[in-house]
A = this chain, B = another copy of it.
Amino acid sequence: MGSVTHTDNGSSPAAPAARGRAADTSRGEQTRQAIVTSAIRLFGEAGYEKTTMRAIAADAGVSVGNAYYYFPAKEALVSEFYLELQREHLARVEPILSSGTSFGDRLAAILREGIEVWAPHHAFAGRFIGIAAVPGSPVSPFSEESTRARELATSIFHRLVDSTETKMDPQLRARLPQLLWLAQLGLVVYWVHDTTPGQRRTRAVVDLAVPYLEYLVGASRMKIFKPLTTRGLALLETLWPHAAR
């Protein structure tokens, strides 16, 4: 869980006078990490609301004000939590991508691992989605700030698609990673609202949806489905122009 190489994410230790931007002064980075660690643990233990900034600061052994020196708001700490889980997901996905199984099997495995990683934090995820859904938020999956995280996520599907031999419409192939990312987004929203024990409903949806997607993808190369594919992709192009990754 914990010890994953920390990719230098965009979050800044310097809210004031952000010009210096040196790699990481040992002291500052240490404090920052202490805060993040405490926040993640407390969020996981007590949820979002119950975990107060004062508690996080106390647990990390710093003052409240100091936490705000490194993070502009409580929400920013949530995004650290998210990054932690995304790294975990990424690590678990690696062997799946390397495996030689079919497109559908690997897609299902990727989605299931995502659910698995988040499962212990279902309650927290509800709050998280509330924060991520508001447009201005840096945690929003559509925001400028999360471009990196978005690319990281789509890169998974890029590798999946690139390494699959399933025949499909070439235009679709080019766009499939983004479509899968969107599908995953929808799945997450569904999962968060899924109150069945262990979110078993969501798992059932995956079981059904993945073969369906596989079928659709395969069908895309058939002549009769061309208009469906083409027009769908045209819609996607309006929705999400290809230039903007």
Contacts and interface: CB of A to CB of B under 8 A. Distances in A.
Contacts of A195: 135
A111 to B, nearest CB: 14
B126 A136 contact: yes
Contact of A129 (B134, B212, B234): B134
Interface string A181-212: 00000000110110100000100110011001
Given A126-B135, A126-B136, A129-B134, A212 B190 contact: no
A131 interface: yes
A130 interface: yes
A142 interface: yes
Interface string A93-119: 000000000000000000000000000
A61 to B, nearest CB: 31
A1 interface: no
Contacts of A137: 130
A219 B209 contact: no
Interface stretch (A5-13, A25-33, A158-166, A225-233): A225-233
Given A204-B238, A215-B227, A215-B228, 16 more contacts: A126-B136, A127-B134, A129-B134, A130-B133, A130-B137, A133-B189, A135-B192, A135-B193, A140-B193, A205-B235, A208-B235, A209-B235, A212-B235, A216-B228, A219-B228, A224-B224
13 contacts: A126-B134, A126-B136, A130-B137, A132-B133, A135-B192, A201-B238, A205-B235, A205-B238, A208-B234, A208-B235, A212-B231, A212-B232, A215-B227
